Amino acid sequence: MTMTHRGKAAVLGGGIGGLTAANALIRRGWHVDVFERSSSLPDTETALGLWPEALDALATAGLSGHAEKLGVLQRSGTALTWDGRVIGRLENIRRPAVLLSRPALLTLLAENLPAHVLQFGTAAPAMPDLAAYDVVLGCDGINSAMRDRLFGPAFRPTYTGYTAWRGWVPGSVTTMSETWGPGALFGITPRDGDLTNWFAAVRAPAGSNGDIDTLRARYRDWHPAVHGILDRIDPAAVLHHDLYESPPLPSYVRGNVALLGDAAHAMAPNLGRGACEAMVDGATLAVLLSEHPVPEALRRYDRARKRPTQRLVRASRLVAGVATATRLTGLRNAVVGTAARFA
């Protein structure tokens, strides 16, 4: 007979991973306090692709089927060259991704929590105060103070070599596409709210100019679908930031503290897995904490999540290099096209 374990958890950060963990733990009888420094949930942001593993994590958190109702199912996608030639197509994907904006997903997770669990405008408690909790979840993002506290500054994320823009424009498209060119890529996807989501990434030094004129100039020779987006963007609705990834941590656990999401394994967005893996982290840890004493649950969590997520960090970097290659692109396109036909 399996014993059910319950306790008291502090979740440091009210992002996607933290709120997934909080929902899943509360569903299993835990007392949870979520400490979020921001004063509220974001009301504008771009879309996320929720892959099947992330949808399973939502089911573990008690939210099965909700994202599918709110978002857009994506059953097909196309890879293109910068001048519009098709590299490969994926069609009739058996378990499609769900494209959903970050605010909609966070609202879904937050509204499922009991009152007073999520404490906005509240910094993480000092370590002595955290001693009142059986387990502490460090979900405080790419610039995690908890990661610094556990492992020091040597494990802070490093620049990937890419700077990125993201945004959305009115109207919807029916399929997602990603265009690859020398040193750059451009993606277009549907999303909820009858909007089209877009993203661009360019090889560039850290801190490069991110204004709209720079963005448009970089893609001025690309195919018409890219121009159709760039001609319609509202500069006030464009996000620009450099992309960082985590060096491999020796462990995601120390004492009774576990790191989740970007605090543990920040990755480039090229596989669309960052938010998904944070959700899987939260669901996995909640299940293990309900089935095992805290020390054993944390050991199992580290074994279950460290190796696959660190592989994804490396794989995301590799895919970025392939998509923005400047040499052997004909061979790349042939290989990708063949792989897509047999996917």
- What structural domains and CATH numbers belong to the chain? 8-73+101-158+245-323 (3.50.50.60), 160-243+328-341 (3.30.9.30)
3-state helix, strand, coil in the chain (%, to 5): 40, 25, 35
The DSSP symbol for 183 reads T
Number of H helices, E strands in the chain: 12, 16
Which of 41-50, 102-111, 200-209 is predicted least confidently?
Answer: 41-50
Instruction: Retrieve residue 230's tokens.
Output: 């760039």
Residue 1 binned pLDDT confidence (cut-offs 50, 70, 90)? very low
Tell me the one-letter amino acid at 118: L
Mean pLDDT across 135-153 = 97
Using alpha carbons, select from 1, 16, 190 the residue that is nearest to residue 103: 16
Q: 3-class DSSP state for residue 322?
A: helix
Contact at 8 Å (CB) between 150 and 24? no
% of the chain surpassing 70 pLDDT: 98
Q: In 44-144, where does DSSP find H-type helix?
A: 52-60, 66-70, 102-111, 127-130
Q: What's the pLDDT tens digit per position in 168-197?
A: 999 988 889 999 999 999 999 999 888 999
What is the per-residue pLDDT for 21? Answer: 98
How far is Cα 98 from Cα 69, in angstroms, rounded to an integer? 9
325 pLDDT higher than 90: yes
pLDDT band at 66 (very low <50, low <70, confident <90, very high): very high
Statement: residue 343 has pLDDT above 70: no
Neighbouring CB atoms inside 10 A of 176's CB total 24
**Res 145 pLDDT > 90:** yes
Q: Specify whether the CB–CB gap between 135 and 50 falls below 8 A.
A: no
pLDDT by residue (tens digit) across 235-278? 988 999 999 999 999 999 999 999 999 999 999 999 999 999 99
